[in-house]
């Protein structure tokens, strides 16, 4: 037993120590690391503030919280990133997730935001995903966009009729906060859809008698080959959708998103875009409710 | 005392937690349910499906907000933006009271997303009560704090858990969400008598109760909310109902969630224990409200 002087003496000190212990990554076998950061044994550290009882040591009691923390947040990333998990395989995904969550523990009251910095982390630390870093980063961004599309705010839409009344050089529009535009080098939309269909089939198959018949379809979904694409991840009637865009349409929407005037946005489409195309696209985008006024 | 200042003098009966797997059943079949408890954090979003579902539920049902992230016991200051959004949700739902846990879970703005146990000290009680008062004044709704299940105890503690709970709610002048399952789980993990706990809290402050299932391991019990309520918890619930009066009761079932009908059937079992408690009459045990540890030990208020 350590002398009382080494114990945390107040609420803040106790919470800081326990917090550090809980957030520390688990050792192999999902156990608490046996050595504490200051060279003491983890057992000594735990005994400095946690009581043992007749069944569990102080470290074993602390370990319950350490394990629950990691199981909870890893589960959350597993659920939110099925495409990325499939592309990397379970072991590499696990290593990536632990590295990411160690570097970026949750700074939000809600687990919804846990993956908000995953794409940037993947690009900054490519060793966790190499040689598939570009694909992994695009999948992380695409799957985060789905979280955004699911529950981000919607602002009052601008209708086609309202658009027609305003001089194009003056009006500044915006994209709905729940719409994310993506320029990608892999067909991540088709890939994630295939993974989800495979996962759904696995769930069905787990209850099916004739399992052998579906086994061929339960195999790993092949990673997508490079193929450029332009996507909008959005919602309609509160259902998620991915929409493929023409490159010119993507450029126009990106210009609106970035605060350009309507006139400037149309110009970004390029000379090859006809007035008829512009009219058709804006009709569609206003019908989908993507366009709103800039705040 | 079914209704008191801590639940806005409402009498809500038996409710269940609103969970995603039941959305379709509830919205299409519109089953008769006294009330739903929502997890506030699931609806602190800008828009989309969560708020659409919530608004549909609010057209048909009474809703009470239960939170998991206010962390009354954390030494961090409350996040004003979080509180502002929570207040907007309180206005939207018209919740008669709002509950969250007597625990901590964040340090310096980093969240564990867990309900971590408090050291039962006077310093912690004072700070926690001050935070509860601040949140209540900001949200302008009665607050009930819930006892958590725990797996660790601290050398720093100066009193029992129920003395700490009493100390906090008396200082904060708030209500209690008495989680009977959590009392049972902690009693087994720490070796105290759960009936001492129920008898030791200020019964007149109990505005709501929780019941749930748990999982037994070799050396401890885990609060998993993935089973029906076990017999010892029902017995403790009956005792708590005799002690506190018939109180708004909520069944929590958060993992391996069965059909809506099964969850609702399990919740309604509480009626039998309520009837039993009514027939047996109230327990006239001494009310400990005037015997908080601070007053007994003369510690500074």
Among B117, B40, B39, smallest CA distance to B74 is for B117
The answer to whether A211 and A123 have CB atoms below 8 angstroms apart is no
The answer to whether A51 and A58 have CB atoms below 8 angstroms apart is yes
The answer to whether B270 and B237 have CB atoms below 8 angstroms apart is yes
CA–CA separation, B70 and B148 (whole Å): 14
A to B CB pairs, distance under 8 Å: 128
User: In Å, how far are A113, A209, B44, B48, B171 from B81, measured between CA atoms?
Assistant: 15, 52, 11, 20, 26
* Residues A50, A161 within the same domain: no
Quick one: CA torsion of B115, B117, B118, B120, rounded to 10 degrees? 150
B231-244 helix and B270-280 helix, angle to the nearest 10 degrees: 50
> How is residue A118 written in tokens?
């995953």
- Helix, strand or coil, per DSSP, at residue B143: strand
> What is the domain extent for residue B267?
5-297
Q: How far is CA A286 from the centre of its chain?
A: 27
- Helix, strand or coil, per DSSP, at residue B129: helix
Q: Does A10 contact B at CB distance below 8 Å?
A: yes
Contacts of A44 (CB under 8 A, 6+ apart): A2, A36
A194: in domain: no
Q: How far is CA B112 from the centre of its chain?
A: 19
* Residues A180, A134 within the same domain: no
pTM: 0.92
Q: Chain A interface, mutation test: which of B48, B80, B116, B217, most A Cβ atoms within 10 Å?
A: B48
Interchain proximity A154–B48, CB inside 8 Å: yes
Interchain proximity B47–A19, CB inside 8 Å: no
| Count of the separate structural domains present in chain B | 1
A218: in domain: no
Contacts of A109 in chain B (CB under 8 A): 41, 44, 69, 79, 82, 106, 111
Name the residue in chain B with its Cα closest to that of A112.
B42
- Helix, strand or coil, per DSSP, at residue B38: strand
| Count of the separate structural domains present in chain A | 2
CATH number of the domain where residue B65 is located: 3.20.20.150
Residue with tokens 């550090």: A20
CA–CA separation, A19 and A5 (whole Å): 20
> How is residue A22 written in tokens?
């809980």
* Residues A179, A125 within the same domain: no
The pLDDT tens digits along chain B (301 residues) read 568 999 999 999 999 999 999 999 999 999 999 999 999 999 999 999 999 999 999 999 999 999 999 999 999 999 999 999 999 999 999 999 999 999 999 999 999 999 999 999 999 999 999 999 999 999 999 999 999 999 999 999 999 999 999 999 999 999 999 999 999 999 999 999 999 999 999 999 999 999 999 999 999 999 999 999 999 999 999 999 999 999 999 999 999 999 999 999 999 999 999 988 888 877 765 444 334 443 333 333 3
* Residues A70, A140 within the same domain: yes
> How is residue B116 written in tokens?
């971590």
Q: Does B114 contact A at CB distance below 8 Å?
A: yes
Positions of E strands within B21-62: 35-39
- Over residues B8-42, the pLDDT tens digits come to 999 999 999 999 999 999 999 999 999 999 999 99
CA–CA separation, A262 and A174 (whole Å): 10
* Residues A30, A162 within the same domain: no
3-state per-residue secondary structure call for chain A: CCCHHHCCCCHHHHHHHHHHHHHCCCECCCECCCECCCCCEHHHHHHCCECCCCCCCHHHHHHHHHHHHHHHHHHHHHHHCHHHHHHHCHHHHHHHHHHHHHHCCCCCCCHHHCCCCHHHHHHHCHHHCCCCHHHHHHHHHHHHHHHHHHHCCCCCECCHHHHHHCCCCCCEEEECCCCEEEEECCCHHHHHHHHHHHHHHHHHHCCCCCHHHHHHHHCCCCCCCCCCEEEEEEEECCEEEEEECCHHHHHHHHHHHCCCEHHHHHHHCCCCCCHHHHHHHHHHHHHHCCEEECC
Interchain proximity A53–B153, CB inside 8 Å: yes
The answer to whether B210 and B254 have CB atoms below 8 angstroms apart is no
H-run or E-run covering B246? none
A265: in domain: yes
* Residues A145, A161 within the same domain: no
> How is residue B218 written in tokens?
């070799």
CATH number of the domain where residue A169 is located: 3.90.930
Give me the residues of A, 89-148, that contact B with CB < 8 A. Answer: 105-112
Name the residue in chain A with its Cα closest to that of B45.
A151
CA–CA separation, A60 and B116 (whole Å): 15
Which pLDDT score, from 0 to 100, does residue B288 have? 46
* Residues A178, A91 within the same domain: no
> How is residue A172 written in tokens?
């500044």
A203: in domain: no
* Residues A33, A134 within the same domain: yes
* Residues A140, A18 within the same domain: yes
Contacts of A118 (CB under 8 A, 6+ apart): A77, A81, A84, A100, A140, A144
Q: Does B50 contact A at CB distance below 8 Å?
A: yes
Please identify, among A150, A177, A206, the residue that sits at the C-terminal boundary of a domain.
Answer: A150
Interchain proximity A106–B107, CB inside 8 Å: no
Q: A150's torsion region: left (phi>0), alpha (psi -120 to 50) or beta?
A: alpha
A13: in domain: yes
* Residues A125, A171 within the same domain: no
A215: in domain: no
> Running DSSP on this structure, what letter comes out for residue B47?
S
Q: Count of CB atoms within 10 A of residue B152's CB?
A: 24
CA–CA separation, B91 and A5 (whole Å): 49
Please identify, among A101, A132, A150, the residue that sits at the C-terminal boundary of a domain.
Answer: A150
- Helix, strand or coil, per DSSP, at residue B65: strand
> What is the domain extent for residue A255?
153-187+229-293
A240: in domain: yes
Please identify, among A103, A129, A150, the residue that sits at the C-terminal boundary of a domain.
Answer: A150
Identify the segments of chain A with pLDDT beneath 50. 1-5
Among A171, A181, A154, A142, smallest CA distance to A262 is for A171
- Helix, strand or coil, per DSSP, at residue B15: strand
Contacts of B110 in chain A (CB under 8 A): 19, 23, 105-107
A207: in domain: no
* Residues A103, A31 within the same domain: yes
């Amino acid at each position: 037993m350590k002398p009382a002087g080494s114990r945390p003496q107040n609420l803040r000190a106790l919470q800081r120590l326990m917090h550090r212990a809980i957030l520390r990554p688990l050792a192999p076998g999902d156990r608490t690391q046996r050595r504490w950061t200051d060279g003491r044994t983890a057992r000594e550290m735990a005994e400095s503030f946690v009581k043992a009882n007749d069944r569990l040591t102080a470290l074993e009691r602390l370990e319950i919280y350490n394990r629950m923390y990691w199981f909870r947040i890893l589960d959350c990333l597993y659920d939110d990133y099925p495409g990325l998990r499939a592309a990397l395989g379970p072991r590499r995904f696990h290593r990536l997730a632990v590295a990411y969550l160690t570097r970026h523990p949750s700074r939000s009251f809600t687990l919804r935001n846990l993956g908000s910095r995953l794409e940037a982390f993947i690009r900054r630390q490519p060793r966790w995903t190499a040689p598939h870093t570009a694909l992994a980063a695009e999948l992380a961004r695409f799957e985060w966009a789905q979280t955004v599309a699911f529950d981000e705010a919607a602002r009052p839409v601008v209708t086609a009729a309202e658009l027609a009344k305003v001089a194009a050089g003056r009006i500044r529009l915006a994209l709905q906060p729940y719409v994310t535009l993506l320029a990608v080098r892999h067909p991540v939309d088709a890939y994630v859809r295939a993974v989800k269909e495979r996962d759904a089939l696995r769930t069905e198959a787990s209850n099916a008698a004739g399992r052998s018949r579906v086994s061929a379809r339960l195999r790993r979904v092949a990673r997508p080959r490079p193929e450029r694409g332009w996507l909008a991840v959005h919602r309609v009637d509160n259902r998620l959708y991915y929409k493929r865009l023409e490159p010119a349409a993507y450029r126009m929407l990106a210009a609106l998103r970035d605060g350009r005037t309507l006139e400037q946005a149309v110009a970004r489409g390029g000379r090859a875009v006809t007035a008829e195309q512009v009219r058709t696209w804006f009709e569609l985008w206003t019908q989908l409710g993507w366009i709103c006024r800039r705040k | 005392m079914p209704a008191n200042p801590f639940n806005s003098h409402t009498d809500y009966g038996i409710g269940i937690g609103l969970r995603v797997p039941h959305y379709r059943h509830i919205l299409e079949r519109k089953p008769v349910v006294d009330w739903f408890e929502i997890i506030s954090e699931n609806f602190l979003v800008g828009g989309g499906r969560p708020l659409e579902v919530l608004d549909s539920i609010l057209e048909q049902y009474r809703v009470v907000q239960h939170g998991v992230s206010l962390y009354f016991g954390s030494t961090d200051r409350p996040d004003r933006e979080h509180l502002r959004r929570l207040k907007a949700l309180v206005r939207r739902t018209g919740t008669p009271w709002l509950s969250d846990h007597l625990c901590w879970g964040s340090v310096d703005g980093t969240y564990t997303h867990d309900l971590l146990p408090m050291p039962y000290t006077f310093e912690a009680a004072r700070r926690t009560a001050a935070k509860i008062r601040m949140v209540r004044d900001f949200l302008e709704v009665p607050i009930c704090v819930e006892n958590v299940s725990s797996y660790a105890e601290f050398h720093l503690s100066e009193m029992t858990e129920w003395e700490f709970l009493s100390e906090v709610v008396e200082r904060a002048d708030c209500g209690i969400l008495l989680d009977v399952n959590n009392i049972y789980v902690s009693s087994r993990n720490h070796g105290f008598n759960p009936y001492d706990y129920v008898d030791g809290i200020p019964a007149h402050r109990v505005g709501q109760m929780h019941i749930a299932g748990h999982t037994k391991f070799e050396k401890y019990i885990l609060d998993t909310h993935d089973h029906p309520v076990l017999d010892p918890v029902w017995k403790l619930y009956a005792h708590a109902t005799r002690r506190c009066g018939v109180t708004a009761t909520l069944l929590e079932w958060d993992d391996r969630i069965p059909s809506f009908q099964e969850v609702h059937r399990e919740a309604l079992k509480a009626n039998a224990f309520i009837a039993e408690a009514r027939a047996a009459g109230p327990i006239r045990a001494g009310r400990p409200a005037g015997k908080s540890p601070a007053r007994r030990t003369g510690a500074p208020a």
